[in-house]
């Protein structure tokens, strides 16, 4: 499967041609700032080391301060869907596509939703090892991390 959403639409294009754009807030902004620099960073407690997703200003376990910390970008597919129906803006053509919950290696249960690229949808399996790579989100304002099988399909 080739990724199909990297091309930047022309100015004035149908708004439905763009995927939903993130609205960063005071807590999530560093996540997007890291991606813009080609890094995947997750929120982590500076006191106890707990990774927190979605991110929080203070740790939910010890109330310690948190900061975004780079992760290795590797993990495994915990579960996945193959989206066939045109449902979400920016994903109305070039169906189907695969979205997975990727469980990152840093902590059991620490998951990120992300598209899986570089593999036939029929070949994706729970447990598949994947690695993050970075691509511009159509619209041009954000970079997102998608995941590709580590050893190829």
Partner 1 sequence: MSRSLGGAAVVGIGRSPFVRSSGRTTLSMAAQAAREALADCGLTAADVDGFTCYSTGDSAGPSQVAHAIGVDDLGWSLSVLGGGNIVTSTVAGAAAAVLTGQAEVVVVYRVLGSQTRYGRALERVEVDGEGQFAGPHGYLVPPQWFAMFCRRHQYEYGSTAADLGAIAVQERDHAVRNPHAVARSPITLDDYLNSRWISEPFRLFDCCYEIDGAVAIVVTSAERAADLPHRPVHLLGAADSNRFGGSVDQWDDLSCMYSRDTAPRLWSRTGLRPADIDVACMYDCFTFTVMATFEDFGFCAKGEVGDYFRAGRATYGGDVVVNPHGGLLSEGYIHGLNHHYEAVLQLRGDAGDRQVSGAETALVTSGAGPFGGALVYGTAAA
Binding site for Zn ion (CB under 5 A): 45, 47-48, 50, 59, 61-62, 64
84 binds partner 1 (CB under 8 A): yes
Decide: 57 and 75 in contact? Cβ < 8 Å. Answer: no
Q: By rule CB under 8 A, what count of residues binds partner 1?
A: 45
Q: In the range 32-51, which residues lie near partner 1 by CB under 8 A? A: none
Residue whose entry in the numeric block shows the structure tokens 């929080």 = 56
Q: How far is the CB of 101 from partner 1 (least distance, A)?
A: 6
123-152 b/e with 16+ CB inside 10 Å = b?
ebeeebebbbbeebbbbeeebbbbbbbeee
Which residue number, 71 or 112, has a Cβ lying nearer to partner 1? 112
Instruction: Specify the pairing of strand 41-45 against strand 51-52.
Output: antiparallel
Partner whose footprint covers residue 20, from partner 1, Zn ion, none (CB < 5 to 8 Å by kind): partner 1
Residue in 26, 85, 93, 152 binding partner 1, rule: CB under 8 A: 85
């Amino acid at each position: 499967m080739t990724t199909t959403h990297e091309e930047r639409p022309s100015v004035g294009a149908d708004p439905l041609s763009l995927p939903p754009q993130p609205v960063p807030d005071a807590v999530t902004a560093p996540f997007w700032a890291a991606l813009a620099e080609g890094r995947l960073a997750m929120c982590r407690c500076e006191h106890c080391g707990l990774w927190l997703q979605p991110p929080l200003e203070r740790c939910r376990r010890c109330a310690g301060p948190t900061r975004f910390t780079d992760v290795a970008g590797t993990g495994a597919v915990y579960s996945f869907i193959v989206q066939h129906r045109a449902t979400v803006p920016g994903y109305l053509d070039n169906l189907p596509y695969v979205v997975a919950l990727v469980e990152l290696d840093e902590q059991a249960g620490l998951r990120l939703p992300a598209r899986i690229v570089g593999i036939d949808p029929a070949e994706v399996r729970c447990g598949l090892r994947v690695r993050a790579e970075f691509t511009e989100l159509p619209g041009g304002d954000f970079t997102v991390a998608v995941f590709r099988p580590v050893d190829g399909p």
